[in-house]
Structure 1
Amino acid sequence: MRHCLVLLLSLLCLPLQAAQLTLELGGASRHWQSTELLAHPKAQDIQVDNDVSYKKTMHYRAVPLAALLAGVSPDDHLQAIADDGFAAEMPAAPLLKDGPARAWLAIEDPAKPWPPLGAGKHSAGPFYLVWTNPQASGISPEQWPFQVASIRRLAPVAARFPALLPAADLAKDDPINLGFALFQKNCLACHRLNGAGDAQFGPDLNLPHNPTEYFQAAFLRRYIRDPQSLRQWPQAKMPGFSSAVLSEPQLDALIAYLAHMATRKQP
């Protein structure tokens, strides 16, 4: 027993190993080792205020994400896949800009590991997409994927997953269509709907039942704003969406989309 304990402690004290990030941007894949990225000519030390994951100011060694996206245009669509199945869908345009909001790939140095995200949890590394001045462009918490394993260029969500689409006869400015855009930005990273999506993190939001079918309206709004206010358990992972992330009209639109899709279930 004592020997096993000593072995476990020795393993916990070992430094992190270099990690690998895969970029699939068309053509051949590019693999970056963390040691390469830490030494990248554009790598620099940055400060991130109000870090979404750590809830405090953090300092990182990071590379402007645009420097790694050779050949990507503002009209392209990217997806960041995390080790836990989180799949962030992101239009390329905000990722390529150098301001006012700017996207960075933070790289965890194996010799200087970041703190864990919580008791019994790993850090946000080895690769973490962070933003400086995110409020300038309305960057949502779902656009801060951590433990990123790969980034790939794909067709837009609507083209890949027609089962997510609202009815075609709706006007472009219909709140349901706005809700669909908000669903892609804030929900699709964790959830599928009608079995459509790449996330492996949370449950499907239409099959077998849509949240609008089993939540009273007021409680659904409360759940989206603060999940722990209705259901508390240590393993809960869904974040709350404050009014700074989803305004009241935006929340109305998101719920309208969900209610609409409850009438468009597809096996």
Structure 2
Amino acid sequence: MSRPRMCTRLASLLALAMLTATAAAAAETTLTVVDADGASHRFPVESLLGRPDVETVTVAGDPAYGDASPAYRAIPLTGLLAGLPVRGADILEATALDGFVAQLPAGKALSADPAGARAWLAIEDPAKPWPNLPGKKVSAGPYYLVWSNPKRSGIGPEAWPYQAVTLKLTASVASRFPAIVVAETLAADDPARRGQAVFVDNCFACHRMNGAGEASIGPDLNLPMNPTEYFQPEVLPLFIRDPKTVRDWGEQKMPGFGPDVLGDRDLDAVIAYLAHMAGRR
């Protein structure tokens, strides 16, 4: 191949690589919303920042940034979804770039009750990026679902998905993923039933159960084995409370669930659920 042709080909490949990178960057800064009828709506970051209902919001109890939480430019979630079909949706599913998939009760996420918590879509301005997350090389952007007055509605840290890129209004978790459901024969007051709800709220965003689910951060918690089968009974609660007290490595991602996030009753319930599901592969 002659030098002019080689140079031309290299230039073409470089231009293609730049276009691909530009397209990927644009995709990551575009929010996709799937309404209750299954239709997709795409919102580029520029259009969101230019909306008249954007406000500057400060939040308390920010689980991503802690006390260093910045002031966010944000849209009320009810405003973002205004005019879109929402009837019949039980869950607002938020998918993040890292594979975190939060299952948020639609009744809480779409509530405008001033006496309760209020959900906001925080938008990272590419011209004024947020600081990197503590211990990470990335920020919480491009989108971060934050809450004002979270304690009023029992909003836990798993309901604050950062690096979110897709919001989807959908049916209940149990109807979409029956493989995670406890046996019908269980008594109504069996702790495993409560544990199923605790699992969905706190564990399902990172883990699957029996292959069911959409998260990809952590391992499946029943296949090939269940944690109750390889952790000693006295060790599993310690691991859930603070994983680093049991095993620690550089790539560990699981946070601890302290008593302020997961009460003792809920901790016992989720362990009862895991033990029950070990017999339901």
TM-score by length of 1: 0.89
| Residues paired across the two proteins, number | 251
Aligned twin of 2:75? 63
Map residues 131-150 of structure 1 onto 2, 5 A cutoff.
131-150=147-166
Query: 1:194 aligned to 2:210?
Result: yes
CA spacing shift, 1:59–1:17, aligned 2, 3 Å? farther
Aligned twin of 1:260? 276
Q: What is the CA–CA distance in structure 2 between the aligned matches of 1:18 and 1:157, rounded to whole Å?
A: 26
Task: Give 3-state SS (helix, strand or coil) of 1:149's partner.
Answer: strand
Query: 1:53 aligned to 2:67?
Result: no
Any conservation in 2 of the 1:16–1:111 contact (CA below 8 Å)?
Answer: no
* TM-fit CA distance, 1:211: 0.4
- Give 5+ residue unaligned stretches, structure 1: 1-14
* TM-fit CA distance, 1:234: 2.4
* TM-fit CA distance, 1:119: 4.2
Q: What is the CA–CA distance in structure 1 between the aligned matches of 2:88 and 2:125, rounded to whole Å?
A: 30
Aligned twin of 1:162? 178
- Whichever residue aligns with residue 163 of structure 1, its letter is A
* TM-fit CA distance, 1:24: 0.6
Task: Give 3-state SS (helix, strand or coil) of 1:58's partner.
Answer: coil
Q: What is the CA–CA distance in structure 1 between the aligned matches of 2:187 and 2:137, rounded to whole Å?
A: 45
Query: 1:247 aligned to 2:263?
Result: yes
Task: Give 3-state SS (helix, strand or coil) of 1:181's partner.
Answer: helix
* TM-fit CA distance, 1:52: 0.4
* TM-fit CA distance, 1:28: 2.7
Map residues 179-218 of structure 1 onto 2, 5 A cutoff.
179-218=195-234
Aligned twin of 1:127? 143
* TM-fit CA distance, 1:27: 4.5
Q: What is the CA–CA distance in structure 1 between the aligned matches of 2:161 and 2:87, rounded to whole Å?
A: 21
- Whichever residue aligns with residue 34 of structure 1, its letter is V
Any conservation in 1 of the 2:145–2:162 contact (CA below 8 Å)?
Answer: yes
Q: What is the CA–CA distance in structure 1 between the aligned matches of 2:75 and 2:200, rounded to whole Å?
A: 26
Alpha-carbon deviations, 1:139-166, whole Å to 9, x = none? Answer: 1111111111101122211111111111
Any conservation in 2 of the 1:18–1:34 contact (CA below 8 Å)?
Answer: no
Considering only CA atoms, is the larger Rg found in Structure 1 or Structure 2? 2
Alpha-carbon deviations, 1:81-100, whole Å to 9, x = none? Answer: 11111111111000111342
Structure 1 runs of 4+ aligned residues shifted over 3 Å read 15-18
Q: What is the CA–CA distance in structure 1 between the aligned matches of 2:116 and 2:171, rounded to whole Å?
A: 27
Query: 1:76 aligned to 2:76?
Result: no
Alpha-carbon deviations, 1:66-109, whole Å to 9, x = none? Answer: 11223324852221111111111111000111342111100001
Any conservation in 1 of the 2:141–2:162 contact (CA below 8 Å)?
Answer: yes
**Aligned-pair Cα RMSD in Å:** 1.8
CA spacing shift, 1:215–1:100, aligned 2, 3 Å? same
Aligned twin of 1:86? 100
* TM-fit CA distance, 1:18: 8.0
Selected match of 1:238 from 243, 254, 266: 254
Task: Give 3-state SS (helix, strand or coil) of 1:50's partner.
Answer: coil
Aligned twin of 1:10? none
